[in-house]
Amino acid sequence: MNNGSGKKRPSPASAPHPPPQQQHQKKHHPAMEEEEEMDEDVFLDEALLHDMEDHKELLPNSSGQAAIIRIFGVTREGHSVCCNVHGFEPYFYISCPPGMGPDDISNFHQILEGRMREMNRNNRVPKLVRRIEMVQKRSIMYYQQQGSHPFLKLVVALPTMVASCRGILDRGIHIDGLGMKSFMTFESNVLFALRFMIDCNIVGGNWIEVPAGKYKKSAKNLSHCQLEFDCLYSELISHAPEGEFSEMAPFRILSFDIECAGRKGLFPEPTHDPVIQVANLVTLQGQDQPFVRNVMTLKSCSPIVGVDVMSFDTEREVLLGWRDLIREVDPDIIIGYNICKFDLPYLIQQCTRFPVCDQPELSSFGPFLLLQRAEVLGIPEFPMLGRIRNSRVRVKDTTFSSRQYGTRESKEVTLEGRVQFDLLQKEDVHHSIISDLQNGNSETRRRLAVYCLKDAYLPQRLLDKLMFIYNYVEMARVTGVPISFLLSRGQSIKVLSQLLRKARQKNLVIPNVKQAGSEQGTYEGATVLEARAGFYEKPIATLDFASLYPSIMMAYNLCYCTLVTPEDVRKLNLPPECISKTPSGETFVKSNLQKGILPEILEELLTARKRAKADLKEAKDPLVKAVLDGRQLALKISANSVYGFTGATVGQLPCLEISSSVTSYGRQMIEHTKKLVEEKFTTLGGYEHNAEVIYGDTDSVMVQFGVPTVEAAMNLGREAADYISGTFTKPIKLEFEKVYYPYLLISKKRYAGLLWTKPDKFDKMDTKGIETVRRDNCLLVKNLVTECLHKILIARDIPGAVQFVKNTISDLLMNRMDLSLLVITKGLTKIGDDYEVKAAHVELAERMRKYGYLA
């Protein structure tokens, strides 16, 4: 499709529903909050006071310098929005020292202001500590019989001053009449952007409304967005993502890929090797086909059907063309393969070689000065890709880590107002042949362009297939954090956001806990029952606990605010019927005395998930179903993350008393389930066979009832689940889920079998922990194991499986095997001697080093 029509966003002037500025007295439009990062979307501004006198009342101090929050979003009509929010001030709490009354606050304020001024001598803000208020709050930590206590709320001028103020209070200051005092701070580590969202009841992916007459058109736009205006934070109206406000915004998604002409035998480097092609596809969220499909090439390129081929004579023109495309299309989301580690940093570093920006006010950022600045700071920057004018893109080294992909070096690229989805690494055409294609003729460059376009199209297909946008938006809505936080931060920020919101409702404050690492100790994990390895030709019923760890926390009211210290157990003299002692020896009050915040959060999450699953069954619209499915998945993940948040010793608010209590209850329940199954389902109890638990892992047990048919095993599984569930405290529930028949149990966490949820036909072959699902083996092993399992489990041909293995080994020894099946793609992150278990690639690397092939 040619990109000549429909490339730009629809003009607000020609839109069927005019934007807020044009309907100032009639109507207003909500905008979906898209992305918010403290570093990018919280900024200082003095120009507002000097250049825009009609905005003076929006600034909270006389100097004109204030923290302003940017909210980037999209209207229902597809117009991009930048809302500059004024008036919200950073703050945190400290516990009020005994003996300090309201009359002492003024003196304390003066002392703290003086210490802050010593640390911020060059700051022109007249008042660094704006005000100090005495408020009644209660710490979330530990059960407290009495109500609230006096706390001091410290409001500072700028977000950066929270850390310096906290440092002064941690070290201690001298107060007349009280002596030297150090203070524990509360909520002093909350990101300013997140603090704003919590206080304004805004969540990620939220529709926000600014009423008519409550905003002002910016006199000088600071962004490239179509609509930009200023308002006070108190005028924002946040709509809960329900009903009409649960719909998805019409995001513009740019998927791109670049090709570089590398030198022979060398991987491309931005200081030497040019960008020769950039392929771009732009899609509207919810639509299947892109409405922009083009490729920018260095030198001529033969036409490609349905694609706008844009050829340029110089690399500088290619880069300028791509910059102009970004500004013209104005994408909300940018996606691609490995774009954060390679494509974006490469483009940005290339731009330092050319004066790509032709705006007069940016002439000071010419190639020499910019490159010099990059060399000094180690951060290549260039003002071309984000939505904020005159703002330089920032690139810094970072590390990406996950259980599935391991740890890999990456880059963090700051593009204000645009979310980046990196689809990670793919199998690529080798860089050594790209230069040959580029140096050929129009036809060879066309071949390269088609390949480049495919690499831009596939991420878009993956994004749709895996429903990334739906899942991430719904996760942001459930947890209350910006979408960008989900892509760049771990699980703990999501739980902390929910905890802060609930604590605010309950008038509780959360202490700032210093990171202690592993010094806090460890706790015993979940139980894994000894696996009785073997091949089972009778059905194996699987009994699973529904949301085990969240259910335990709800059933036993495990929370920070219900935990009773050993000293308080003796001192408070609590009645036995109001407390419970966990198997790990901790004491918590029951819900009849005080309901915990974590159980409340979990109840709301799981109740909302049930509601979402029920709505999903009734939904007919595919888009509505996608949103609801993403929502129920987000709710499930969020509920399961709460336990991990309490057990993370390097975290925001670790509490090993809670996490160890949860796992101790879990171990007890697995053992209890095994005991009841093997005691009740016996021949003495009137059953045909004695039941045997052959394996148990964290939240499930696998039972051989001895019956010959799948249907009989299912009936006994349901009976066992109902019987055992009746012995647990609600809402803990054991459910029958599936039957494996036949079943191959190799060892702990390694098994395979045919999975049955209905007695008439098996659903699939399910494998866990073996080579068919592992990523660390060559294709030969995967194919071999898959074929053997097929013969054993489906064809029931065990001799055939043995013969197949013998034939494969023979082919390997006789050199009749395709060598591509033997390739292992694996990285080394440390020296060979540091590996406890020597994998094949580690042994090979050591052998190559020994013979001088590696340094």
User: Which tens digit of pLDDT belongs to each residue from 653-694?
Assistant: 999 999 999 999 999 999 999 999 999 999 998 999 999 999
Q: What is the Cα–Cα distance from 87 to 66, expressed in whole angstroms?
A: 8
The pLDDT value recorded for residue 18 is: 35
Residue 522 pLDDT more than 90? no
Torsion sign over Cα 732, 736, 737, 743: positive
Tell me what percent of the residues of the chain surpass a pLDDT of 70: 80
Is-contact 754 793, C-beta < 8 A?
A: yes
For residue 702, how many C-alpha atoms fall within 13 Å in the half-sphere facing its CB? 28
Model confidence at 718, pLDDT cuts 50, 70, 90, reads very high
Q: Whose CA is closest to 595, among 564, 554, 655, 638?
A: 554
Q: What is the mean pLDDT of residues 354-364?
A: 41
CATH fold of 252-465: Nucleotidyltransferase; domain 5 (3.30.420)
CATH fold of 91-194: Alpha-Beta Plaits (3.30.70)
Percent of the chain as helix, strand, coil, to the nearest 5: 40, 25, 35
Q: What is the Cα–Cα distance from 725 to 730, expressed in whole angstroms?
A: 9
Model confidence at 845, pLDDT cuts 50, 70, 90, reads confident
Is-contact 302 224, C-beta < 8 A?
A: no
The pLDDT value recorded for residue 307 is: 94
pLDDT, tens only, 275-305: 999 999 999 998 888 999 999 999 999 999 9
Number of residues that make up the chain: 855
**Alpha-carbon dihedral angle through residues 586, 589, 590, 593, given to the nearest 10 degrees:** 180
Q: What is the Cα–Cα distance from 368 to 375, expressed in whole angstroms?
A: 10
Q: Which residues contact 851 (CB under 8 A, 6 or more apart)?
A: none
Query: What distances in angstroms separate CA 464 from CA 58, 254, 291, 484, 652, one per listed residue?
Result: 42, 13, 15, 19, 34
Q: What is the mean pLDDT of residues 617-631?
A: 83
Model confidence at 409, pLDDT cuts 50, 70, 90, reads low
pLDDT, tens only, 38-73: 344 555 554 343 344 444 544 444 455 788 999 999
Residue 35 or residue 476, greater confidence: 476
Is-contact 346 258, C-beta < 8 A?
A: yes
For residue 728, how many C-alpha atoms fall within 13 Å in the half-sphere facing its CB? 28
The pLDDT value recorded for residue 742 is: 94
Q: Tokens standing for 321?
A: 């063309």
Q: Tokens 């609801």 — which residue?
A: 628
Q: Which of 129-138, 431-440, 571-580, 845-854 has the highest mean pLDDT?
A: 129-138
DSSP letter (8 states) at residue 29:
-
Q: Is 819 exposed, middle or buried (0-12, 13-18, 19+ CB in 10 A)?
A: exposed
Query: What is the separation, in whole angstroms, between the first and last Cα of the chain?
Result: 51
Q: Whose CA is closest to 183, among 173, 175, 193?
A: 173
User: Cα–chain-centroid distance for residue 150?
Assistant: 36
Q: What is the Cα–Cα distance from 76 to 221, expressed in whole angstroms?
A: 21
User: Cα–chain-centroid distance for residue 190?
Assistant: 17
**Alpha-carbon dihedral angle through residues 414, 418, 420, 421, given to the nearest 10 degrees:** 170
Residue 150 or residue 350, greater confidence: 150
Q: What is the Cα–Cα distance from 80 to 76, expressed in whole angstroms?
A: 10
The pLDDT value recorded for residue 381 is: 37
Q: What is the Cα–Cα distance from 88 to 200, expressed in whole angstroms?
A: 10
Is-contact 784 762, C-beta < 8 A?
A: no
Residue 5 or residue 571, greater confidence: 571
Is-contact 479 639, C-beta < 8 A?
A: no
Domain spans of the chain, in order of start: 12-88+200-246, 91-194, 252-465, 514-593+650-770
Strand partners, 761: 758
The pLDDT value recorded for residue 429 is: 54
The pLDDT value recorded for residue 832 is: 64
Parallel, antiparallel or unpaired: strands 129-139 and 508-509 = parallel
The pLDDT value recorded for residue 123 is: 78
Q: Tokens standing for 626?
A: 């996608």
Q: What is the Cα–Cα distance from 786 to 805, expressed in whole angstroms?
A: 11
The pLDDT value recorded for residue 395 is: 64
The pLDDT value recorded for residue 3 is: 38
pLDDT, tens only, 192-233: 999 999 999 999 999 999 999 999 987 778 888 899 999 999
Q: Which residues contact 180 (CB under 8 A, 6 or more apart)?
A: 172, 173, 174
Q: Average pLDDT of the chain?
A: 82
Model confidence at 778, pLDDT cuts 50, 70, 90, reads confident
For residue 238, which amino acid is it? S
Model confidence at 444, pLDDT cuts 50, 70, 90, reads confident
Tell me what percent of the residues of the chain surpass a pLDDT of 90: 46
Is-contact 597 605, C-beta < 8 A?
A: no
Q: Tokens standing for 211?
A: 């009423």
Q: What is the Cα–Cα distance from 693 to 541, expressed in whole angstroms?
A: 10
Residue 523 pLDDT more than 60? no
Backbone φ and ψ of 817, nearest 5°: -105, 140
DSSP letter (8 states) at residue 258:
E
pLDDT, tens only, 3-12: 333 345 665 5
Residue 465 pLDDT more than 50? yes
Strand order in the sheet with 406-414: 381-382, 393-402, 406-414
Residue 585 pLDDT more than 60? yes
The pLDDT value recorded for residue 369 is: 29
For residue 218, which amino acid is it? S
Residue 499 pLDDT more than 60? yes
Torsion sign over Cα 766, 771, 773, 779: negative
Residue 720 or residue 360, greater confidence: 720
Q: What is the mean pLDDT of residues 400-407?
A: 49
E strands, 241-379, where? 252-260, 275-284, 292-298, 308-312, 333-336
Q: What is the Cα–Cα distance from 66 to 79, expressed in whole angstroms?
A: 28
Residue 435 or residue 84, greater confidence: 84
Instruction: Spell out the long-range contacts of 484-492 with Cβ–Cβ below 8 A and sequence spacing 24 or more.
Output: 484/35, 484/36, 484/37, 484/419, 485/37, 485/194, 485/204, 486/204, 487/419, 487/420, 487/421, 488/412, 491/641, 491/644, 491/645, 492/645, 492/648, 492/651, 492/652
Measured CA angle at 58 (ends 55, 60), to 5 deg: 135
Q: Tokens standing for 275?
A: 């960008």
CATH number of 12-88+200-246: 2.40.50.730
Query: What distances in angstroms separate CA 179 from CA 98, 166, 182, 328, 470, one per listed residue?
Result: 12, 19, 10, 62, 56
For residue 12, which amino acid is it? P
Q: What is the Cα–Cα distance from 452 to 301, expressed in whole angstroms?
A: 13
Instruction: Spell out the long-range contacts of 395-399 with Cβ–Cβ below 8 A and sequence spacing 24 or more.
Output: 395/344, 395/345, 395/348, 395/349
The pLDDT value recorded for residue 380 is: 36
CATH fold of 514-593+650-770: Palm domain of DNA polymerase (3.90.1600)
The pLDDT value recorded for residue 280 is: 96
